[in-house]
Every structure is written in C-alpha cells, then in structure tokens.
Chain A
Amino acid sequence: MLLIPCPWCGRRDESEFACGGEAHIARPADPDAVSDAEWADYLFMRTNPKGAHRERWVHVHGCGRWFNVARHTVTHDISAAYKVGEKPPGDAS
C-alpha cells in the first residue's frame, strides 16, 4: 500500500485515494477545430512510461480534492505531490 502525501491532508494510506491516470493532458482549446486523430490522441493515447510518471490522484475518502503526484512506475517511489495548476517539480518550462 502506498503512502500518499495529499497536499491538503498530509500522508495517508493509498486506500483513501483513487488514481486518475496520466496528468497534464490538456483538453483541446477549440474542440471544433480538432481532427479525429488529435481527439484520439487526447482521449486515448497515453505515455505509460517505465520510469518517472506524473499522475492525477483524488483523495476520495478525505478532502475529496484532485492533485498531482510524481511517482516512479518501477520502484513506486513518490518524489512529489503538488496542487493542480502548479508546475511539476523539476520542470523548468
């Protein structure tokens, strides 16, 4: 069981949370102007990396808020948890 640091509530057991998959996937700004291929990419295509991953979690059985987590998909080490809208740690862009 992971120990997940909710930015609002602190470290809690994984069973209080649900994972929402890859983070930082922006909905196309102008949906009418988007091709089928671009929709497919937005809706379905995922990076699914073996290594560093940024993903969304929601503290269902706690504060109920969504936030982002940086986690390694082999070691499961969580290097950061940060609020929606914040830049991922280590991201200079």
Chain B
Amino acid sequence: MAKGAYSIFSLVRNALRYHEGWPRAWRSPEPQPAYDVIIVGGGGHGLATAYYLAKEHGVSNVAVLEKGWLGGGNTGRNTTIIRSNYLWDESAAIYDKSLRLYEGLSRELNFNLMVSQRGVINLAHNLHDMRELARRVAAIKLNGIDSEILAPADIKAMVPILNVSPEARYPVLGASLQRRGGTARHDAVAWGLARAADARGVDIIQNCEVTGISREGGKVTGVETTRGSIKAPKVGVVVAGHASVLAAMAGLRLPIDSYPLQALVSEPLKPVIDSVVMSGAVHVYVSQSDKGELVMGASIDNYNSYAQRGSPHVIENMLGATVELFPIFSRLSMMRQWGGIVDVCPDASPIVSKTPVDGLYFNCGWGTGGFKATPGSGFAFAHTIAEDRPHPLNAPFSLERFTTGALIDEHGAAAVGH
C-alpha cells in the first residue's frame, strides 16, 4: 500500500493521535512559469482531466487553475444523481463509460466517493409519458445498459411514500428504473480526484483566476491569471457556466447559454426514501442523503444569468408538485437553498472538443446533468488533449456538430436532464 494511503490502519493510528497527524490531501504549490498542459477550472471535470492525463497518458507536468476553491462550482452544488440511461447511442456510450468508471473509482483513488447504486426511478404521469418511456427503455437496453419498466404497484413497493392513487394530481402510470443509477458524494469526487492527481505530480492551484488566453499566430501560448502569466502549449478549459466568458478571451463564441439552477435540502429525517425518484413532467427529483436530508432540485430560471442564485417562484413550483407526489413532505422545513450556473447547449449535449485555436480545448455544455459524467468526461478530454484528437467517446461531441448539423438531441433525456 502506498505511503499515506487511507486504510483501517491509518484510521486507527490517527484516531490514537487525536486526528492531529493527517497529512494534507494535496499540496498547495506556487504556480510554475510553464507547464505542458494547463487545465482551467478545478471542478470535477477539470480534476478528472488532470488525473487521467497523468494516469493514462503520462502527462503530469500539468496545472489545474481554479479561481475559487476546489469543487466550489457546480461540482459542489449538484444533487449528486448518477445514471446512464440516455436515449442516443453517443450519449449512452460516454455516460455509461462514466458510470462504469464510478463503479471502480473509490478503490482506484483510495477515497470513498460514497457511490450508492440505489436505483433511479423516472415517473410517467400520462399515456404519452408511458410511450416515450417504453421507447427509451428499449433503446437503452439495445445499448446494453440496464433499464426496466415498473408498474405502479412495483413503484409503490419501492417507494411507499409516493402517492400512486388514481385520484392524485399527478397520477403515476408507470416508471423506468435503472438499478445501477444512484448517487455519489459530490465533494468526495472533487477531493478524491484532486488527491490522486496531486500524488501523480499535478499542481493544483486555487484562488487563481484566468483572465486571458494568450495566443500567437492562431496557437495557444498560455494564460494570464490573477497570479501572473503561465505558459503552456496546451490549454484545456473546463469552467461549466463560465465557458462563454473564457471563449470570449480567445475570440470565440460558443453555442451555450448560462442559466441558474437551484437545489435545496430539508431538515434531516429518518430514512423515508432509499432510491432516487425523478419526474420530468413536473420537474421534481428527490433523494435522501446519508445524513437524512432530502435533496431536491428545481428547474432552471429561464433567462441568461451568472448570479449564483435562483428565483423563489421556481422553487415554489417544484415544491408544489413535490408535495402532490409525496404528501408526507408537506410539513417539512427546508434548511438550505443555493444555485449554480449551468452551461446549456441547444441540443442539451456537451461539447468536448478541439477549437479553431490550436492547442485550445473546451469541455463544457454539460448543463444540468454533468456530475454523473465527471470521470468519463475527464477520461475522454485527457485523450483529446494528449493526442490532439478526440477519443471515439467524445468525437460526436465536437464543436463542429453545430456546423454539420449532427446534433445529439437529448432534451428531456430519460426524463429530467440531471
């Protein structure tokens, strides 16, 4: 076992020392003047990219530059749902790769990501929903991804607190279930990847905002930051909601709009729901954390915004529907609410791509649903940067698809887009 590895023995040893002897999980180095690769954005996707650059491609002279703190963007703000039941082949391939990586990642990183494959249930409330759901389940199965249809009685058995009465405001006619879907601890994903990338020599530099992208003759030469200029022949930008802002620094425009998306958690309860329940039609998704809090997400505010907050009427709509579906929640207090800025493409699919500027790569557009894709996205993006060409997993997700018209329309992917 590697030095500094977490284990039952290190836990006992440190407990005996009153937990005062734990080493830092990653260094906090000063930025070097130059690197082989700079990753802009210390969220899950940026950290995963750095980790796989070092692990799969032997490129470890890498800096991850984060303007705030690690995982302080959407990585630390999402509702932690992971699943791979996407409609189109291209999406199925990259999201399922990601889920398979998640399945082995806690062990690989020696960090408990609390991956909990508790099952993700997507409800259908009318005949149209049911037909669409049957089509999706069939398509998903054809891609070798587990997916099944539940009848109302099966759903009630799994989620006893759900109102499945035919008189309900939102009657439940059926659902799809992906048993391998579930949740993972978002902070742990950022921290585990950061620690593993750092151990392989990657410099993780927080409080370092990129303010400019330097170019010469159509080629990237480095970045300007609040901590000085840093040179690199390759720059990978993974900044989610701020993608258009960084693109403008290189004179590019992207097919992206940024919107606030909100989530909220309740006071802690005894266990009442042990799967993830989502409803695309009324835009509700609920799971219960290990602390007992109900974790819920709302929909986006429908106008461009970089304010990391959302509007109360959006929450009100979503909670109204939640209480119809789960009457038992009607007297719960909500403890915290927050927003993140999500980067949405016209086809609701991501961009993991080279750009018209040599040596400049963008990974963005994951919108409301990229947490589940964190390892798969980093894996494919690392390949794209190291080899200067896309991996087969992300070739369809190029920027060129908006010119060729080969869009990957995942709107309402297997229900709500999270």
Contacts and interface: CB of A to CB of B under 8 A. Distances in A.
15 contacts: A1-B311, A21-B304, A22-B304, A37-B403, A40-B403, A41-B253, A44-B346, A45-B402, A47-B244, A48-B254, A50-B306, A53-B304, A71-B303, A73-B307, A74-B305
A2 B405 CA distance: 35
B304 A45 contact: no
A80 interface: no
Interface stretch (B207-215, B255-263, B410-418): B255-263
Contacts of B253: 41, 45-47
A46 B242 CA distance: 13
A30 B312 CA distance: 44
Interface centre among B248, B303, B307, B402 (most CB of A within 10 A): B303
Contacts of A73: 258, 304-307
A87 interface: no
A54 B303 CA distance: 11
Contacts of B405: 36
Contact of B312 (A1, A41, A43, A49): A1
Contacts of B404: 36
Contacts of A18: 302
B245 interface: yes
A73 B244 CA distance: 13
Main secondary structure of the interface of A (DSSP, over half): mixed
Given A19-B302, A47-B253, A74 B313 contact: no
Nearest to B302: A19
A46 to B, nearest CB: 6
Contact of B304 (A2, A36, A41, A55): A55
Contacts, number: 71
Contacts of B313: 1, 14-15
Contacts of A55: 303-304
A49 to B, nearest CB: 7
A36 B401 CA distance: 11
Interface centre among A19, A39, A48, A73 (most CB of B within 10 A): A48
Given A36-B405, A47-B248, A48-B244, 5 more contacts: A47-B244, A50-B242, A55-B303, A55-B304, A76-B305
Nearest to B345: A44
Given A1-B312, A44-B346, A75 B255 contact: no
A43 B403 CA distance: 10
Interface string A62-75: 00000000010111
Contacts of A71: 303
Nearest to B407: A44
Contacts of A41: 253
A21 B403 contact: no
Interface string B313-332: 10000000000000000000
